[in-house]
């Protein structure tokens, strides 16, 4: 009888300790983020010389962070604007494109300077893939303006590194560097297009939803 009572007490004590440990484990977090990116890229098109230009990107995404805060997965939508000047058949032109993208990313974070900043500063590295479509295109010369829409879909991949600082309980600010490239070409009317060497500096506001 004593052995049974002792076993029951030990079992209940073990459950209490386990419950306390579970309550101390950090919960997984959801949230959303807004990114602004600026940089450069190279545009490739059938029958044209490679064209170097500038890119500006706005991105909105939802993310999920693991309970230990080290890993996160995000899915979102972004618009990339590519602008460049070129020459065709001796005539100057200005190119303005708007790409719609659906990015899927994975990142890993690590706290740095823990003793000085109380785990408020993290370094991260991430990889991702995206689906991309050339939604609008405007080609402007001295004489006239040409406009195209929905020029096809393709895909790409990217890599990024950066720092994230906690500025408030549910608000983080991040800055990083990202490089991307289309791994396939979009095709319409026998014309193939893609962007390569997309290099940007990224600024992020990250909102945490517990």
Q: Does 31 fall in a domain?
A: yes
For position 26, what pLDDT does the model report? 54
Residue 15 lies in a domain: no
Q: What is the CA radius of gyration of the chain?
A: 25
Strand, coil or helix: what is 26?
Answer: coil
Q: By the 8 A CB rule, do 77 and 99 touch? A: no
Q: Confirm whether pTM is higher than 0.85.
A: no
Within a domain: 67: yes
Give residue 143's pLDDT.
85
Residue 9 lies in a domain: no
- Does residue 14 lie in a domain region? no
Chunk the chain into consecutive blocks of 10 residues (it has 210) and report each block's average pLDDT, rounded to whole numbers: 46 43 56 96 91 96 87 95 87 93 95 74 94 95 90 95 91 96 92 94 91
CATH number at residue 147: 2.40.160.20
pLDDT of residue 90: 74
Other C-beta atoms closer than 10 Å to the C-beta of 200 total: 23
Q: Classify residue 61: in a domain, yes or no.
A: yes
Structure tokens at 23: 């309550």
Phi/psi of residue 3, each to 5°?
-65, -40
pLDDT at 105: 96
- Per-residue model confidence (pLDDT) at position 2: 45
Number of domains, the chain: 1
The domain of 176 spans 26-209
How distant is the alpha carbon of residue 205 from its chain centre? 12
């Amino acid at each position: 009888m004593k052995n049974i009572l002792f076993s029951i007490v030990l079992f209940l004590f073990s459950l209490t300790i386990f419950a306390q440990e579970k309550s101390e484990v950090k919960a997984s977090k959801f949230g959303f983020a807004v990114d602004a990116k600026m940089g450069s890229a190279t545009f490739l098109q059938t029958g044209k010389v490679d064209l170097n230009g500038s890119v500006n990107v706005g991105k909105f995404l939802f993310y999920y962070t693991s309970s230990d805060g080290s890993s996160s997965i995000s899915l979102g939508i972004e618009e990339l604007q590519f602008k460049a000047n070129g020459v065709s058949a001796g005539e100057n032109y200005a190119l303005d494109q708007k790409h719609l993208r659906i990015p899927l990313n994975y990142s890993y974070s690590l706290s740095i300077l823990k003793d000085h900043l109380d785990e408020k500063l993290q370094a991260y590295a991430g990889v991702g893939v995206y689906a991309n479509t050339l939604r609008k295109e405007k080609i402007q010369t001295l004489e006239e303006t040409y406009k195209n829409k929905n020029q096809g879909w393709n895909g790409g991949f990217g890599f990024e590194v950066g720092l994230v600082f906690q500025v408030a309980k549910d608000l983080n600010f991040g800055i990083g560097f990202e490089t991307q490239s289309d791994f396939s070409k979009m095709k319409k009317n026998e014309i193939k297009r893609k962007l390569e060497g997309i290099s940007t500096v990224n600024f992020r506001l990250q909102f945490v939803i517990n």
